[in-house]
Amino acid sequence: MGKITLRNVAKRFGEVAVIPDINLDIEDGEFVVFVGPSGCGKSTLLRLIAGLEDVSDGTIEIDGVNATDLPPAKRGLAMVFQSYALYPHMTVRKNIAFPLKMAGLDPAEIERKVDGAAKVLNLSNYLERRPGQLSGGQRQRVAIGRAIVREPKAFLFDEPLSNLDAALRVNMRIEISELHQTLKTTMIYVTHDQVEAMTMADKIVVLNAGRIEQVGSPLELYRRPANLFVAGFIGSPKMNFIEGSEAKLHNAATIGIRPEHIDLSTSAGTWKGTVGMSEHLGSDTFMRVTVEGLGMLTVRASGEVSVQQGDTVWLTPQDGKLHHFDANGKSLA
Amino acid sequence: MSTQSTRLAARLMVAPSVILLFIWMIVPLAMTLYFSFRLYRLLSPERTGWVGFNNYIWFLNSPDFWLAIWNTLALVGGVLVITVVLGTLVALLIDQPVKGQGVLRILVIAPFFVMPPVAASIWENLFMHPQNGLFAAISRGFGAQPILFLEQHPMPSVIAIVAWEWLPFATLILLTALQSLSSEQIEAAEMDGASAFSRFRYIILPHLTRAITAVILIQTIFLLGIFGEIYTTTQGGPGSASTTLPYMIFKQAIVAKDIGRAAAGGIIAVILANIVAVFLMRGLGKNLDA
Ligand SMILES: Nc1ncnc2c1ncn2[C@@H]1O[C@H](COP(=O)(O)OP(=O)(O)O)[C@@H](O)[C@H]1O
Ligand SMILES: [Mg+2]
């Protein structure tokens, strides 16, 4: 079991309300990702759930039990830190065994569980090494191993992949997703990277300045962003926003269109523009097109498209893919 | 500095200071060694000559010698135990976030700036004095006889005074080490269910081993030569109860004015220091490897 409920949770550091007021339900077995720009309070929220910080207001329930005042160890949660926080003077085996030893399990049982975890995580050959002798990815796995042996109610990850190189990050992303498939334990995963959020989450919680902007599945957020912030944050490259007279035509203060929802033509279309810088990725080409009266739009074209900088092109937004926002940035249904 | 020529250049550049330091060390050592085999008494300067190992034999047969060795080791060991244990506890304490932390830390460091003879005098006259001392007043407050610290317990008293002087040093080094421990490691241990004691035992203490090793090695060097505190308080007495090896050498050189015997004692002290160093490096040296 691992159902976590936050009711009116607030956190203040002195005068600063880092988290003003949050309500959130996390269901058992869900993979929830907290995503938001740096400094928006993701780590703080995770640490409140872990019990490493005290809430200033509100309650935290874990499996229906009020855990607001429980110390971290009593909450039955395991955390993987950004820096991994491995114990440098212990071998990998002792690192993974540490929570079991603290729980007072007998040595044979500890041995069995550590070996089991090591097998799952491909660490069997490294058990006698120290963390300092491991690569970044292996350290990451040790940190995960230390978390899974405890069989916690939920896993908390704080930007666990941010210290890895790009290729390894993709691998570990898949490994963590697979781990979730196998264990079916609740996982709360913090990241500032919307790609990680989109690829891993069952449910994404978009945070901005300590507030929840929107909660939903990755595709819900992509298709129906609740406001300008979510629309701009989810999706890569960023959604194009258009204000002014063109938006008024659609009865909105702002309209948005994703780069992948714009058709490009050299002969005819809705908006006429001039091609600027292009990024060629092979499969796709991201093109910046300056349209008179609208400004700069990013367009995703196929990799084969053959237009040069300075060429004149025509852009057409695809049917039903325009997003409409009111003057407060809220999405118009 | 990896190529042949840069290595050679580097050696040439450090050579002057290395040579100077070597001379600085070897000349006094050689002279001490020379005097230790000579008859050389300031009170009868006309009698000179080689005496073989006589100075050494006198020293080793002196009734105070083994007591002095024991006292020296007790002083070093006692002060090390007290400063490391208390230093760790005080460092843990003043690492906590409290109001006036800066002032508190300066207060803790302060004893280190008091000169050894001054510190010893303060302890002798203001704390341990049987009539005027604070401890005597406390004893009388409880209706007990004042303890005659320097007369009845000379060695423990000297150890206490020296430990008081060196506690700030140990605390300071251990505090810096403590501050370099990542808070995430402590938090991870907390989540892993480690009690405060387990966190200390399994996370903090291993993190401190290198600093503790440094404290032990550095303090040992200075503690082996402690002299001023004994000279100011007990003068090695009562009798020879608090005579250490350095104090014994002092008595031969300055009181008996026998330079030959004092030099022999000096060489014995060098040998003792090296024996201690070998044991320490055997036992603790591996802690210093990264
Ligand atoms: N212990 C603290 N004391 C004061 N301010 C803090 C503390 N921890 C975090 N903050 C502030 O809270 C805000 C959110 O921090 P954090 O949760 O770490 O952001 P994120 O993880 O989303 O990047 C930041 O502005 C940060 O400066
Ligand atoms: Mg963070």
Contact A49 CB / ligand 1 (< 6 Å): no
Residues of A within 8 A of B191 (CB-CB) are 50-52, 72-73, 77-79, 99
Q: What is the CATH number of the domain that holds B128?
A: 1.10.3720.10
| Residue with CA nearest ligand 1 atom 8 | A44
Nearest-CA distance from A87 to chain B in Å? 7
Instruction: Please say if the pLDDT value at position B1 is more than 80.
Output: no
User: Is residue B281 helix, strand or coil?
Assistant: helix
The pLDDT value given to residue A168 = 87
Instruction: Please say if the pLDDT value at position A41 is more than 90.
Output: yes
The pLDDT value given to residue A326 = 92
Give A203-236 as a DSSP string: EEEEEETTEEEEEE-HHHHHHS-SBHHHHHHSSS
Task: Please report, as a single letter, which amino acid is at residue B141.
Answer: G
The pLDDT value given to residue B159 = 94
Q: What is the mean pLDDT of residues A291-315?
A: 89
Q: How many domains does chain B have?
A: 1
Q: What is the mean pLDDT of residues A133-157?
A: 91
Ligand 1: centre distance to CA A226 (Å): 25
CB distance from A70 to chain B under 8 Å? no
The pLDDT value given to residue A247 = 87
- The answer to whether A61 touches A5, Cβ cutoff 8 Å, is yes
Contact A43 CB / ligand 1 (< 6 Å): yes
Return the exposure string of B129-140: e unless at least 16 CB atoms fall within 10 Å of the residue's CB, then b: bbeebebbeeee
The pLDDT value given to residue A165 = 87
Average model confidence (pLDDT) for chain A? 91
pLDDT bin (cut points 50, 70, 90) of residue A62 is very high
Place of tokens 């387990």: B198
- The answer to whether B111 touches B169, Cβ cutoff 8 Å, is no
Question: To test ligand 1's pocket by mutation, which of A15, A33, A44 has the most ligand atoms within 8 angstroms of CB?
Answer: A44
pLDDT bin (cut points 50, 70, 90) of residue B116 is confident
Nearest chain B alpha carbon to A88 = B207
Rg (CA), chain B: 24
For B193, which of A87, A90, A103 is closest by C-beta distance? A103
- The answer to whether B154 touches B161, Cβ cutoff 8 Å, is no
User: What does CATH list as the number for A4-231?
Assistant: 3.40.50.300
Q: Which of A74-78, B109-113, B283-287 holds the top average pLDDT?
A: A74-78
Q: Do B192 and A85 touch (CB under 8 A)?
A: no
| Residue with CA nearest ligand 1 atom 25 | A39
Give strand pairing partners of A203: A32
Q: Do B190 and A71 touch (CB under 8 A)?
A: yes
The pLDDT value given to residue A43 = 93
Q: Which atom of ligand 1 has the smallest separation from the CA of A159?
A: 21
Q: What is the mean pLDDT of residues B163-168?
A: 93
Nearest chain A alpha carbon to B206 = A89
Q: What is the token pair recorded at A241?
A: 């926003």
Q: Do B191 and A87 touch (CB under 8 A)?
A: no
Q: Which of A117-121, A203-207, B40-44, B139-143 holds the top average pLDDT?
A: A203-207
Residues of B within 8 A of A83 (CB-CB) are 182, 184
Instruction: Please say if the pLDDT value at position B290 is more than 60.
Output: no
Residues of B within 8 A of A131 (CB-CB) are none
For A99, which of B182, B192, B207 is closest by C-beta distance? B192
Give the number of A-B residue pairs with CB atoms closer than 8 Å: 59
Nearest chain B alpha carbon to A132 = B290
H or E stretch including A263? strand A262-265
The CATH 3.40.50.300 portion of chain A extends over: 4-231
Q: Is residue B13 part of a domain?
A: no
Q: Do A85 and B187 touch (CB under 8 A)?
A: yes
Instruction: Please say if the pLDDT value at position B87 is more than 80.
Output: yes
Nearest-CA distance from B97 to chain A in Å? 15
Q: Do A78 and B191 touch (CB under 8 A)?
A: yes
Please state, in angstroms and as integers, the Cα–Cα distance from residue B251 to each residue in B32, B45, B58, B73, B258, following that order: 16, 18, 14, 19, 9
Give every strand in the sheet of A16-26, ordered side by side.
A16-26, A4-13, A57-62, A65-66
Span B29-70, pLDDT tens digits: 999 999 988 888 888 888 888 888 888 888 888 888 899 999
Give strand pairing partners of A77: A154
Average model confidence (pLDDT) for chain B? 89
The CATH 2.40.50.140 portion of chain A extends over: 238-325
- The answer to whether B130 touches B50, Cβ cutoff 8 Å, is no
Span B117-143, pLDDT tens digits: 898 999 988 888 888 888 888 888 888
* Residues 205 through 244 of chain B touching chain A, CB cutoff 8 Å: 206-207, 209
Which domain range does residue B173 map to? 56-285
What share of chain B in percent tops pLDDT 70? 99
| Residue with CA nearest ligand 1 atom 16 | A41
For B206, which of A89, A146, A150 is closest by C-beta distance? A89
Ligand 2: centre distance to CA A292 (Å): 40
| Residue with CA nearest ligand 1 atom 14 | A41
Superfamily of domain A238-325: Nucleic acid-binding proteins (2.40.50.140)
Nearest chain A alpha carbon to B186 = A85
Q: Do A72 and B202 touch (CB under 8 A)?
A: no
